[in-house]
Amino acid sequence: MEDSLQAENTALPTLAVTLGAAIWGIYWWPLRYIEQLGMSGLWAVVLASSVPLVILLPLLVYFRNQSRNRLGTILIIGLFSGSAVTFYSIGLIHTTVVRATLLFYLTPIWSTLIGISLLDESVKWNRWMAIALGLVGLYFIVGDSSSESQPVNIGDWFGLASGICWGIAAVLIKRNPDIGVTVMVGWQHLFAFLVALTCCVMLSDSTQIPAVDIWIDAIPVMMGYSWLGLVPSLFAIFWASARLFPGRVGILMMTEVLVAMISAAILLDESVLALEWLGVILIISAGILEVLGSDKAVVVVER
């Protein structure tokens, strides 16, 4: 009877994480679609990061008292987590969906190394093994020099940077678990918008402001995805993460990789080479190995 009750108690959170990760797995689609409408890649990222703020900014104002005592820490977390979202978005546009997604999922490597160097955390064998598998997988994804392999481009670098930024943010969130979910999500997307706008200006994309008719076509697409999918998925994942073992959450989040790969293969006809498949397997194995040994740790899986 107890086992049946426990299964019922975990069924809904498990479903919430799985569906939330799946929604992130198709995050590339509205970005690519908006770009096809004629909006340059960076402006598409600016739009993608600004639309959720229509909902999140009022919530930040409402919960403003939660930010006052920890404002400095919250701003730093927001900067790195927001940068991770923006860099990941840019990566999805300028490199293959599979590469951008997997490069982000190298996060366990960076969070472990940061935890060792800055927080003097003890590391078990499984995390060292995860680092080794992840680095080898990284080589097979972007380091292979065969003629069939796509050369490393700016999208790959942004994908890699997104994982590093989220690794820093994850360590800081782990050290400050009392910060409210709404506050973190709100500041994350505010900084995502500011970083996207900064990248747009620095890379001279601001001189190519899209025409009004392009904005009219693009905004409803991003509003629908963000308000009906992205924002609810963020809160669903955080809600479920408080009710499941972190290891289970981490493994369920791998749904994002699978959905991204399958959807990109079907809709974009993205092919994955044999050595890249090996990299995929190694990076996913690294993520699973890392979370299996982290059930007692606080793990934040949303970005």
187: tokens are: 């500041």
For residues 165 and 77, the answer to whether their CB atoms sit within 8 Å is no
Residues in CB range of 138: below 8 A, 6 or more apart: 103, 106, 279, 283
Extract long-range pairs of 261-268: CB within 8 Å, 24+ residues apart.
261/97, 261/98, 261/101, 263/25, 263/26, 263/28, 263/29, 263/97, 264/28, 264/96, 264/97, 264/98, 267/29, 268/32, 268/97
150: tokens are: 């796509």
Q: What does the pLDDT read at residue 182?
A: 84
Residues in CB range of 104: below 8 A, 6 or more apart: 84, 88, 91, 159, 162, 163, 166, 303
pLDDT tens for the chain, 303 residues long, are: 444 434 447 778 888 888 988 998 999 999 999 988 988 878 999 999 999 999 899 988 888 887 777 888 889 989 998 999 999 999 998 888 888 888 888 877 777 777 676 666 666 777 778 778 888 878 777 765 554 556 778 888 999 899 888 888 877 877 777 788 888 888 999 999 999 999 888 876 556 788 899 999 999 999 999 999 888 888 887 777 667 765 566 677 778 888 888 888 888 877 777 777 787 788 777 777 766 655 444 444 445
